[in-house]
Every structure is written in structure tokens, then in C-alpha cells.
Chains A and B, each alone.
Chain A
């Protein structure tokens, strides 16, 4: 049971670390538009990096 005295504080620290990671992801805008990321694969114009008018 003694191992709990190490594991409990460690899990608490791990949780705090994960919260920090999520905060970073949020601030870089990864959760702003969840729909668009899914649709991006279908977007030919953007993938080719070329304006559609030139094709």
C-alpha cells in the first residue's frame, strides 16, 4: 500500500500537466472550428495551393 503515497501525488501532477497541454492546444486555436478540419480533405483548391481560376 505504501506505493500509494507516491502514486497519488504523481497522478495529481500528471492531471495538472494534462490540463496545461489542453490549454496550449486551445490557445493555438485547435478547437475553434472542428467542422472545418473534417471538411478540409475535400477542399481541392486549398490542397493544391492554387487559385481555382487558373486551372
Chain B
């Protein structure tokens, strides 16, 4: 991938921290748009990332990060190393807030218990005072540490003149704390004698528990995504100047370090081989499935596998600068797009929150006429109970959980929105070569067609040794099928005629040929059109051996097609191969239709025809060859390695040709749609039922807090079912 010239706008993804709702996303978008040189900015609150289009000539990445920090959030460039560090910071602070809240809540509950169990007059006034004071002391840490995110969020919103989800919560907490404090220290004062420290701490704990669960879900999804790509070793073996070897963690590596890499281990960093000669498997990074030769001086990539021999390497780039980390970054960016359902929910958040504040103020005003002492508590209940957390979590939590579950099953989604379309598909188009069958043909049968002095296995070994001179797929298949003999014949004057075959002279000067029937000088007109490709081998004009090659079905192809049929999907085979061969394969797999002899343009026509007939089509193909067809399909699955997800036109990638992933993804998409609907229904029902109760004063603050927290937990719990 060529990097764009510096004068053109750059697109960068920042990993954000500290967001709790869609409204926060709006604040960050506004802050970033205010930076000179930023032309566009989209924040995804669910994935906590910002996608920014900016002009490198007019501003710098630092300024963007500072703008986010000034708005009161944290940001780091979305490289995995930075994202991991951000995740660690975020998880520590969330755990701290949650622990303080829950631990103090338990103690405050103990201290509050006498209020509930004592009969009137049983609790001495000074003992009640003492218990209230103790509860107040234990509520302080909760307000100071655990509730701080809500106050910060509300303050940020106010400064930017917008209403965030934190504002009603912060307002409710502040009013309850101030009123309870007044009641605890001056029972005869204006706030009455009732204290609500127990409701307060419980509300904070449940709210934080919901956010903590959501954060864990997000972090897990990010981790699964990263590990789906490739695994770096946990430690590296670094050579000391005196020749000794230190075991060091990857984070301690620096460019210029000299490392020892064992055979079978993966390279810990990008660099150059100093000593030794090996082969490396870079399949996960480049999609190239053959081992690459790596002599001394060759460049190696982090996370590629060292197959051949132990080598010494020099580190050139490590940590966030490696090729691997850039690919992971692209994957993060891909997942950062917001699903349409969540966009709709975001639009409604602000008017809804404004309505909540008005309702709370109205309720307080009305109750201050009817029953002044209760006015404050009714307002607190309304503020707390209407927090639309459940509503805002309904869609994103389900999508993230589903994406995580699919990543574990070998299906990487390019964007969560793919799930929306996936739930609607009714037809699956499958490509043949490279999708249902392996990428390379295999040797199926060998036939001797003329008598000769050589034994058949001798001839086969001879053919294979000649085939090793060529990179043609059929030659490679033949070479792979026969183990290399220790002393093969020595060929001279090896020549390759494109489209025909190979020719070479043996020690005796006889010319041997390997290739098509025409190359060997015979007529193969009667060949079965459903048969696979054939090779002929023998001295020129006198073929001795016929080699039948055939494509091999992937082991899970039949089961995967069955699963698609069971899900009620139609299957169509598209192949560039002859119609007879396509039909034969379709019959073997019970595919419902087969279209053979189709070039990419014909495949595209077929796809468009199905789409104009009102069908929603998923296309499964080879990531690179079928790019135009994949781009036209409603959902595209590319076979291949995870790195392709960031590059190909496909919406999803089946890692390592895992065909069963298609049916699994469809099934999960249907479940996700169901779960999102359940979540929305539940959240809407909860708000619709609880607001009238709170307005009527029938909901004490503790019940409001419990209800709100439980509704969020219910939504997250429901979504979590998808992650399994």
C-alpha cells in the first residue's frame, strides 16, 4: 500500500477513552472539527474511536490529541501498542471506581440497616446521628472517586453547551448527596431527617458495574481481534555485547538490538537477518502462503514464522512501528464504523435527555406545591430512573459481542454493519477454485500409456524432477505430489513454452517433454470435458505417462453447504471452469445451481440479475481474484488471511478458508438482530413504565437507582449471550 503524499488529506483513527454515551461522541466531534485543518470527523462511541480526515500541512497529530484532551477525554493514535496501554489505564481506573463504590456500598448498607429494622423510638437519636455520620464518611470516597466520571462528563457537556447522559445522573447524585449531608449534620434543618446514602452508593455501584461490563466486552473484542491476526512471542532473546543471551520482554526491545530467533518461533520485530539462512512463513501478514527464502541480509517481519533454522536478526522497527501493528490498526479502524441502528439511537439521545431534565424540574415544581418535603426526592428519582443508558447500549453492545464471537470462530468482520445485511441474505454465491476447493490442484491419477524400459515410479520421479524447474501451478502440484529424489536426473537445456509445457535433455541427450497433449505431439480430442487438467510426459512425440490432476474439495465444504441449506439459503456455484466440471462439483456438494464457464464479467451479470430480482446476495470468493464480484454483492466473504480484511472489498474474511463460518455468521446475524430488538423493546418499556411511577412519587430513590441499573445490566447481559 502506497502512503498518500503529504499534501493530500490524511485519514487517521484515534483510540479514545472516557466516553460513556453517544452525546460524548458529539462533544469530541465538535472539539476536533474546531481544530484548524480538520475537514471531517466521525466518532464511534461504541468502539471508542474517532476517524478524522485532516490536512497534515496545516496541523499535526499532536494537536488533534490535545484537542480531545482539552475536551476532557483521553486519546491515543490507534496503533495496537498505544491502544493496549490505553486499555490498561482505562481498565485500572474503572476497576478502582467500581471497587470503591461496591465496597463502600456494602458498609453503608450495614450502617443503614438499623433505620429500616428499628421500631419508632427504639433507635437513640445520638446513635442514629453516629450511624449517619459514619455513612457520610463512607460515602465520601464514592463521591470523590467513583462518581467523579459522572461529574466530569456532566461538566464537559455543560461547557460545550450540550446535554450528555451524565448530566441527569450527576444532577441526581449531587442533589441526593447535598440533601442527605444536610439531613445528617442538621436533622432539624431544611432537608429533614431522612438520609439516602445507601441509595446513593448503590446507584453509583450498579451504574459503574454496567459500565465496567461494557468496557470488558469492548476490551475483549479488541483483544480477540488482535490475537486473530498473529501472535507475537511474549519474550525475545537478546544478545549481549559479551555474547550472552538475555530474555527480555518485547516492550524492552529497541531498534539496533541483536536477537536470536529459534526455528519454529515467530520473529519478535521487523528487521534484517544478520547470520544464518532460513525460510519464513509470512502468510498471516501478506497472504503469501509459500515459505519465503530468507538469506542473511533479507528483511523479516514481526509475527512471521521462522521455519528453517535458528538465525540472528537485527531489530529495525519494533512495537507500534511494525508492519503487523499497522495491519492491526487498520482492522481497528474497520471495526470503528458505527452501525446504522446506533446512529438512529444517537440522534434521539439529546432531545430525550432534554425532556428528562424538563420533566424532573416540572415534577419538583408540582410536588413543592403538593408536598414540599418530597419534591426533592421525586426530582432525584426522575433524574435517576430515566437515564437512557439501556437505550444507548441496546445496539452497540450486541454488535460488539457478535463481532467478538465471530472472530473467535474464524470470521473477521470488516464493519459491524455487515451483520445487519447478513441477517437479510437469502442467496449465497460460491466461487469454485480457491473457495470450495483448495487453491492448488493435486495429483489424482497416473496412467502409463506406452511400454518403456522405465518403471512407473521412476518415470514419475523423473517427471517431478523436471516439473521442479517450473513455477506453473500444474508443475508445482506435480512436484509437491512426489518427494524429491536424492539423486534426480540432471537436466540440460531446460526450456519452458508458455501454455504448452517444459522441455529438457537428459544425460544421454534425449529430449523429454512435460506438458499438454499438443506439446507431446498427440491428439487428446476425446478427453472427458468433466475431467480435470492433464499433463503428459515422455520423450518428444512419444508420451509414456499421463498425469491426471484434480482439484481437491476443502474438507469442510460439504458440511458448510449443508449448513447453508439448513438455514434456508439458496446456493449457486459460480466458476470460470468448464460447465461440465462445475456441474459435477455442484452435484457432489448438492448445490442448487451451477454456472460454469463464467468470466468475472459474467459472474457480475449473474449477481446483478439476482439482485434485481429482489434477492439479497452473499458472495463467497477469493479475496483478490473476485474483487469486482465481491464488491457488487450485498455481503462479501473473502477466503484468506486476516490481513486481507483490511484491504479487500469484502465485508468479512473467513480466516484460513473456514467455510463453516458463513452459516455461523448468518445464524449469529439473525440472533444479533433478535437481541437488538429485544434490547430496544426492553429499554423502551422500562423507560415508559418507570417515568410515570417516578413522577407520581411512587418510586423512592433507591428503587429508581436499582431499576435503572438493572435495566442496563439486563441489556448488556442479553447482548453477552451473543459473545458465547
A22 with B237: in contact, given A1-B127, A4-B127, A53-B262 (CB under 8 Å)? Answer: no
Which A7-22 residues have C-beta < 8 A from chain B?
A: 8-9, 11-12, 15-16, 18-19, 22
Chain B, residue nearest A32 (CB): B88
Per-residue A-contact encoding for B88-132, CB less than 8 Å = 1, 0 else = 100110011001100110010001000000000000100100110
- Does B138 sit within 8 A of A, measured CB to CB? yes
Q: For residue A50, which residues in chain B have a CB less than 8 angstroms away from its CB?
A: 247
- Does A38 sit within 8 A of B, measured CB to CB? no
Our pick among A1, A12, A26, A49 for the contact of B134 (Cβ within 8 Å) is A12
Per-residue A-contact encoding for B73-99, CB less than 8 Å = 1, 0 else = 000000000000000100110011001
B260 x A53 contact (CB < 8 A): yes
Per-residue B-contact encoding for A10-53, CB less than 8 Å = 1, 0 else = 01100110110011001100011000000000000010011111
A8 x B111 contact (CB < 8 A): yes
B677 to chain A, nearest CB (A): 34
B96 x A5 contact (CB < 8 A): no
Which B217-231 residues have C-beta < 8 A from chain A?
A: none
B111 x A51 contact (CB < 8 A): no
B91 x A8 contact (CB < 8 A): no
Q: For residue A8, which residues in chain B have a CB less than 8 angstroms away from its CB?
A: 111, 130-131, 134
Chain B, residue nearest A8 (CB): B134
Q: A4–B127 Cα gap in the complex (Å)?
A: 8
A-B contact count (CB 8 A): 62
- Does B600 sit within 8 A of A, measured CB to CB? no
B227 to chain A, nearest CB (A): 12
Number of residues on chain A facing chain B (CB within 8 A):
24
- Does B597 sit within 8 A of A, measured CB to CB? no
Chain A, residue nearest B111 (CB): A8
Q: A12–B91 Cα gap in the complex (Å)?
A: 27
Q: For residue B131, which residues in chain A have a CB less than 8 angstroms away from its CB?
A: 8
- Does B137 sit within 8 A of A, measured CB to CB? yes
Q: For residue B265, which residues in chain A have a CB less than 8 angstroms away from its CB?
A: 52-53
A19 x B103 contact (CB < 8 A): yes
B407 to chain A, nearest CB (A): 17
- Per DSSP, chain B at the interface is helix
Per-residue A-contact encoding for B283-314, CB less than 8 Å = 1, 0 else = 00000000000000000000000000010000
B247 x A49 contact (CB < 8 A): yes
B151 to chain A, nearest CB (A): 19
B103 x A15 contact (CB < 8 A): yes
A51 with B95: in contact, given A9-B134, A18-B103, A19-B141 (CB under 8 Å)? Answer: no
- Per DSSP, chain A at the interface is helix
A26 x B130 contact (CB < 8 A): no
Q: A12–B310 Cα gap in the complex (Å)?
A: 61
Q: A15–B101 Cα gap in the complex (Å)?
A: 12
B262 x A52 contact (CB < 8 A): yes
Q: A55–B137 Cα gap in the complex (Å)?
A: 59
Which B311-370 residues have C-beta < 8 A from chain A?
A: none
Q: For residue A22, which residues in chain B have a CB less than 8 angstroms away from its CB?
A: 96, 99, 103
Chain B, residue nearest A1 (CB): B127
Chain B, residue nearest A18 (CB): B103
Q: A1–B124 Cα gap in the complex (Å)?
A: 10
Q: A18–B141 Cα gap in the complex (Å)?
A: 12
Q: A27–B414 Cα gap in the complex (Å)?
A: 36
Q: For residue A15, which residues in chain B have a CB less than 8 angstroms away from its CB?
A: 103-104, 107, 138
B99 x A51 contact (CB < 8 A): no
Our pick among B100, B124, B137, B260 for the contact of A12 (Cβ within 8 Å) is B137
Q: For residue B237, which residues in chain A have a CB less than 8 angstroms away from its CB?
A: 51, 53
- Does B245 sit within 8 A of A, measured CB to CB? yes
B107 x A12 contact (CB < 8 A): yes
A19 with B92: in contact, given A49-B247, A51-B247, A53-B262 (CB under 8 Å)? Answer: no
Q: For residue A12, which residues in chain B have a CB less than 8 angstroms away from its CB?
A: 107, 134, 137-138
Which B260-277 residues have C-beta < 8 A from chain A?
A: 260, 262, 265
A16 with B95: in contact, given A51-B237, A51-B247, A51-B262 (CB under 8 Å)? Answer: no
B97 to chain A, nearest CB (A): 11
B85 to chain A, nearest CB (A): 11
A18 to chain B, nearest CB (A): 7
Q: A26–B99 Cα gap in the complex (Å)?
A: 10
Q: A18–B132 Cα gap in the complex (Å)?
A: 21
A19 x B247 contact (CB < 8 A): no
Our pick among A5, A49, A51, A54 for the contact of B130 (Cβ within 8 Å) is A5
B95 x A26 contact (CB < 8 A): yes
B92 x A26 contact (CB < 8 A): yes
Q: For residue B234, which residues in chain A have a CB less than 8 angstroms away from its CB?
A: 46
B99 x A53 contact (CB < 8 A): no
Which B133-160 residues have C-beta < 8 A from chain A?
A: 134, 137-138, 141
Per-residue A-contact encoding for B374-390, CB less than 8 Å = 1, 0 else = 00000000000000000
A38 to chain B, nearest CB (A): 15
B100 x A19 contact (CB < 8 A): yes
Q: A9–B708 Cα gap in the complex (Å)?
A: 32
Chain B, residue nearest A15 (CB): B107
B629 to chain A, nearest CB (A): 42
A10 to chain B, nearest CB (A): 10
Q: For residue B104, which residues in chain A have a CB less than 8 angstroms away from its CB?
A: 15, 19
A43 to chain B, nearest CB (A): 9
17 contacts between A and B (CB under 8 A): A1-B127, A5-B127, A5-B130, A8-B111, A8-B130, A12-B137, A19-B103, A22-B99, A23-B96, A26-B99, A32-B91, A50-B247, A51-B237, A51-B260, A52-B265, A53-B237, A53-B260
Extra A-B contacts (13), CB below 8 Å, given A8-B130, A16-B138: A5-B130, A8-B131, A9-B134, A11-B107, A15-B103, A19-B99, A22-B96, A26-B92, A32-B88, A32-B92, A46-B234, A50-B247, A53-B260
Q: Please give the residue numbers on chain B whose beta carbons come within 8 Å of chain A beta carbons, in ascending order.
A: 88, 91-92, 95-96, 99-100, 103-104, 107, 111, 124, 127, 130-131, 134, 137-138, 141, 234-235, 237, 245, 247, 260, 262, 265, 310
Query: 9 nearest interchain CB pairs?
Result: A53-B262, A51-B237, A12-B134, A15-B107, A8-B134, A12-B137, A22-B99, A26-B96, A8-B130
Q: Please give the residue numbers on chain A whose beta carbons come within 8 Å of chain B beta carbons, in ascending order.
A: 1, 4-5, 8-9, 11-12, 15-16, 18-19, 22-23, 26-27, 31-32, 46, 49-54
